[in-house]
Amino acid sequence: MNSEKEWLYEISPKRKFIDLNFKEIWDYRDLLILFVKRDIVTVYKQTILGPLWYFIQPLFTSVIFTLVFNNIANIPTGNVPPFLFNLAGITAWNYFNQSLTKTSNTFTANAGIFGKVYFPRAIMPLKTVISGLFKFGIQLSILIVFYFYFLLQGYDLQPNTNLLLFPVYVLMMALLGLGAGMTISAFTTKYRDLTVMVGFATSLLMYISAVPYPLSEVSEKIPSLAWLVNYNPLAQIIEGFRYMILDTGIFNWSGFFYTLAFSIILFLVGLIVFNRTEKNFIDTV
């Protein structure tokens, strides 16, 4: 009586292996914007220092890193002041770290709302990554403040033309965070062990991501384990990030494209796994 074409959509058990609906996410863009706004506005309501908290964490971490890695362990940072070197690394790392940890509990943290209404579930990790950009922007601004401070102190600091790649680097961090986060979130619905793992895994990951030391240090001091850092896309991103604003470290295009490809593939894997989970997760969460 009715031709199949007339149906708007069909609710059925998922059969297709890859079933991504980007149009639907676009249809819900207003929701995405509202969620991002809500995140930004509500985080520091009823705190005295408000967004100042965004400054405090990276500054203190940089001070500690400078004391431990540069003053005690004597890791050289070239002609860049160690504090600035660490601050740059931490700023970039923070954005990735936040994207990963916050998206990795998407399903468990939002079980309440997901259990009641339908909207494309991918909105949740996306809004986390986008509202994270706001925090990243603020932290970037203190990096710039210190950059000029050290410039006035007489240090020879020069960004190089790679700065044009800045948006690509941010995108790669977002994709990596999203990809890993969404994959983990899909598995945490059944196996809660992963939530425990994420916490310490990220802090260990930081040490093989060249945050408190330059890439060159590793190949020089422990060449046998250098692959661990060299093939880590995050180490490539953080080194590349420092390279473009402080002109320190190494950069090569093969590493850049390797990282870009890695990010995109991880993101797609994450999205597929996430999509496969979203339909039935409420039964297992």
Residues at the interface with other proteins (CB under 8 A): 1-2, 6-14, 28, 30-31, 33-34, 38, 41-42, 45-46, 113-119, 190-192, 279-285
**Which residue number, 23 or 45, has a Cβ lying nearer to other proteins?**
45
Contact 175, 95 (CB under 8 A): no
**Which residue number, 43 or 264, has a Cβ lying nearer to other proteins?**
43
Q: Report which of 65, 119, 124 is spatially closest to residue 93, judged by C-alpha positions.
A: 65
CA–CA gap between residue 156 and residue 65 (Å, rounded): 22
CA–CA gap between residue 56 and residue 181 (Å, rounded): 25
DSSP string over 215-272: HHHHHHH-GGGHHHHHT-HHHHHHHHHHHHHH--S---HHHHHHHHHHHHHHHHHHHH
Distance of closest approach, residue 268 Cβ to other proteins, in angstroms: 21
Instruction: Report the sign of the C-alpha dihedral through residues 58, 63, 69, 75, in that order.
Output: positive
Distance of closest approach, residue 273 Cβ to other proteins, in angstroms: 14
**Which residue number, 251 or 276, has a Cβ lying nearer to other proteins?**
276
Residue 232: CB atoms within 10 A of its CB come to 19
**Which residue number, 160 or 284, has a Cβ lying nearer to other proteins?**
284
Distance of closest approach, residue 119 Cβ to other proteins, in angstroms: 6
**Which residue number, 17 or 253, has a Cβ lying nearer to other proteins?**
17
CA–CA gap between residue 160 and residue 247 (Å, rounded): 6
- Give the tokens for residue 84: 């600035």
Q: Report which of 169, 104, 99 is spatially closest to residue 128, judged by C-alpha positions.
A: 99
**Which residue number, 42 or 74, has a Cβ lying nearer to other proteins?**
42
**Which residue number, 14 or 221, has a Cβ lying nearer to other proteins?**
14
The residue whose two tokens read 């992963």 is 194
Distance of closest approach, residue 134 Cβ to other proteins, in angstroms: 17
CA–CA gap between residue 74 and residue 142 (Å, rounded): 25
Distance of closest approach, residue 5 Cβ to other proteins, in angstroms: 11
Distance of closest approach, residue 282 Cβ to other proteins, in angstroms: 5
CA–CA gap between residue 87 and residue 98 (Å, rounded): 16
Distance of closest approach, residue 180 Cβ to other proteins, in angstroms: 21
